[in-house]
Amino acid sequence: MPDQTLAAQDPPVPPPPDAAVVVEDLVKRFGDVEAVRGISFAAAPGEVFGLLGHNGAGKTTTIRILTGRSRPTSGTASVGGHDLVADREAARAELNLVFEDQNLYLRLTGRENLALFAQLYGAPPERVDALLRRVGIEHAAGRKVKTYSTGMKQRLLLARALVNEPRVLFLDEPTRGLDPLSARTLREIVRDLAAAGTAVVITTHDMTEADELCDRVAFLAEGRVVALDTPRELKLSLAARRAGRHARVTLDDRSEHEVPLDDPADRRLTEWQAAGRVLAVHSDEPTLADVFVALAGRGLDDEDGDDGDDPGPDAPSDGARKWWHWLVWPYRPGGRR
Amino acid sequence: MNARRLWLILRKDLVDAIRDGRVLVALLIPIGLGLFYSLAFPDEEPRPSAKVVVVGAADAGRVAERLPEDVGRAIELTVERTADEAAARQRIADDDVDLAILVPDGLLRQAREGRSPPLRVLALSDASPTAFAVADLLPATVGKLTDRPPAVEVQSATVARNTANAVDAMGLRRYFAVAAVAMLLGMVGLLVTPIILAEELDKRTLEALLLAARGSEVLAAKALVGVIYGSVATAGTVLLTRLEPERPLLFALGALGSGLSLIGFGLWLAYLFRSPDKLNTWMGLLLFPILLPAFLVSTDLSPVVDGIFQALPMTQGMRLMVDGSQGSDVFGSHLLAVGVLLVWTVAGFAFLARMLQRRGI
């Protein structure tokens, strides 16, 4: 069962005046399905903000709205001080996105891919090579992207998302499928961006990554924010609510022992320490994944596939689906992914 | 709409698409077919031919027997006989025979008497030079039959063509060249252009583009890619097949109208199929009925079928191109053709715009 105590949210507070991303009472419906149900949060410049949740929780829909690719049913969202409905063009100039899919032009070279978007954004041409160097693929800039490895493509995606020097950078599952070295490089770049004042909003299923990268995280479940705090506070909140906390102690004879931490009568740990026999102590501090399970009542891998909550801006509306369903059999309603 | 962004996307599409094997094949197949037919049906036949019907009684029989001898091997001549002038006129109008020779009773007798009797010949106004060459031989033939110097007066008259027949009017080589252009425009409008968009949808590069540009700019660029590829490939086909349209503006109007009327629907189909592979598969099937009217413009159709076909863009596009490639009209009704093409073009793009509006792009 979900931990309702942990899920309880603080009363809404007004976003700081300099917030890079402000979301208030955001709602998105697709026909009868309510994918996002009144989400509110804000992200400050230089902050790495995580949007976490299981498949279908509303993460992708929220990101779509925040990147101007989908319109909210109600509520407001702004990026860089520009409303995403009323002033979408200005808001888009302030943001960019590292897509979950490696949506690059495979028959173009890395430089051609980057140059196209640099020109579309009106960025100076020298930025293309600078970004290729920054993400470490300048040696392959003249090669067609179809010859790139997954890690190289992901780096190019990141470079593309930086061509307009966005104030807000969205990353959708940025390290999925990457080898540890590439993932680490990408995280370092994200940290550098945040240090330089870019607000970073990241969605990920990787709780370790979220724990490592994010200053704050919002847990989404069924279209709602069920918890919003720093990873540390969320973990400690769960730990404080847990009964029977233990430490696992490994002694010099390689034997392992579980020692209760909330039983003052059990003094074994103190004695082993005094005798110099302790090789390792592992606490059972909850991880962010534990927090997630407690909040959502299920693990992250309970559902297959990606967020199935948003058919995307170019998918037909429900009415159109019904109309086309019988007319055009090759089209599978909702079966895009 | 920002022209700079449109140009950037267009330039990218032109470069990206031409590196796609599917696009190359779709462009090269019709050009190759046009080239093949232009070589398979050369203008210069090894031996000119003519089909002649001789009308009349006894003297007509003698003329019909003698004429092939006088023509010799210079012309492959087929001579038939009939007693009915009306039937001969009908066959001329139907373009079934090239020349009708009307031999009056007593022709040879009058010629022998040196009275220069009239000998009428009937042909289509645009009959082949070979037919007129046969007509020019008639005084000599009569002269030989009467053992006198030529003593007949050949009077030529024209007969109006019954039905428009592009193949007869143009010859097979030119007809297939225009048909290849029609096929090419169908491929560009319904395969090449949609494939470019469907691939953007499938690979989701469209979403990245839409972060930096408006949907209208992206789609206008795609449509322009179709127009540019269609124009360049049409020009190439015309040159390779030596079509040499006699009214190039009319021909260009037909080609452009056909292309534009298909591109809007092609882009709409891209949104429907959303995958270049699906498009490739299904358009192989859909292209046939869409292109079919273009290839049936020169056949006799029932009024109902003809009425339906006249409302289709490929029919009217092909008619304009056929007339544009000729010095005179085979089909005419150019305003109707332009109107039909315009309606289909507007409808295609309106349909597409409506879909984009519904999706908030």
ipTM summary value: 0.74
Domain that holds residue B79: 49-163
Look at B272 and A320 and tell me if their CB atoms are within 8 Å.
no
Strand order of the β-sheet with A278-283 is: A256-260, A246-251, A278-283
pLDDT reported for residue B152: 78
B126 CA to centre of own chain: 17
Look at B12 and A108 and tell me if their CB atoms are within 8 Å.
yes
CA distance B270 to chain A (A): 11
pLDDT(B356) > 90: no
From chain B residues 242-271, the ones with a CB under 8 A of any chain A CB are: 271
CA distance A284 to chain B (A): 43
Look at A314 and B359 and tell me if their CB atoms are within 8 Å.
yes
Q: In which element (H, E) is residue B196 found?
A: helix B193-203
**Do B133 and B180 reside in the same domain of the chain?**
no
| Segment A255-267, tens digit of pLDDT | 988 888 777 888 8
CA nearest to B195, candidates B255, B291, B269: B269
From chain A, pick out residues whose CB is under 8 angstroms from the CB of B204. Answer: 99, 101, 103
Look at B16 and A160 and tell me if their CB atoms are within 8 Å.
no
pLDDT reported for residue A50: 93
CA distance A89 to chain B (A): 9
Look at A314 and B20 and tell me if their CB atoms are within 8 Å.
no
A320 touches chain B (CB under 8 A): yes
| Segment B204-241, tens digit of pLDDT | 998 899 888 888 888 889 999 989 988 988 888 888 88
**Do B241 and B204 reside in the same domain of the chain?**
yes
| pLDDT band with cut points at 50, 70 and 90 for residue A10 | low
Look at B361 and A313 and tell me if their CB atoms are within 8 Å.
yes
Number of domains in chain B: 2
From chain B, pick out residues whose CB is under 8 angstroms from the CB of A328. Answer: 272
Q: Which residues contact A129 (CB under 8 A, 6 or more apart)?
A: A111, A138, A141
| Segment B275-290, tens digit of pLDDT | 888 888 888 778 888 8
**Do B281 and B158 reside in the same domain of the chain?**
no
Look at A99 and B212 and tell me if their CB atoms are within 8 Å.
no
**Do B240 and B352 reside in the same domain of the chain?**
yes
From chain B, pick out residues whose CB is under 8 angstroms from the CB of A96. Answer: 211
From chain A residues 149-208, the ones with a CB under 8 A of any chain B CB are: 160, 164
For residue B154, the domain's CATH number is 3.40.1710.10
A264 touches chain B (CB under 8 A): no
**Do B191 and B329 reside in the same domain of the chain?**
yes
Please give the CATH superfamily to which domain A4-94+166-238+287-328 belongs: P-loop containing nucleotide triphosphate hydrolases (3.40.50.300)
**Do B155 and B291 reside in the same domain of the chain?**
no
Which of B163, B188, B217 is the endpoint of a domain? B163
The model's pTM is 0.71
Look at B358 and A316 and tell me if their CB atoms are within 8 Å.
yes
| Segment B28-65, tens digit of pLDDT | 877 777 777 777 766 655 578 888 988 887 888 888 88
pLDDT reported for residue B42: 62
**Do B193 and B220 reside in the same domain of the chain?**
yes
**Do B127 and B206 reside in the same domain of the chain?**
no
Say how many residues make up chain B: 361
CA distance B274 to chain A (A): 8
pLDDT(A176) > 60: yes
Look at A336 and B278 and tell me if their CB atoms are within 8 Å.
no
Which of B102, B131, B163 is the endpoint of a domain? B163
From chain B, pick out residues whose CB is under 8 angstroms from the CB of A70. Answer: 360
**Do B276 and B158 reside in the same domain of the chain?**
no
From chain B, pick out residues whose CB is under 8 angstroms from the CB of A106. Answer: 203
**Do B96 and B237 reside in the same domain of the chain?**
no
CA distance B222 to chain A (A): 15
Which of B130, B163, B196 is the endpoint of a domain? B163
**Do B232 and B152 reside in the same domain of the chain?**
no
pLDDT(A303) > 50: no
Domains of chain A by residue range: 4-94+166-238+287-328, 245-283
**Do B228 and B249 reside in the same domain of the chain?**
yes
> Under the phi-then-psi rule, with left for phi > 0, alpha for psi from -120 to 50, and beta for the rest, what region is A109?
beta
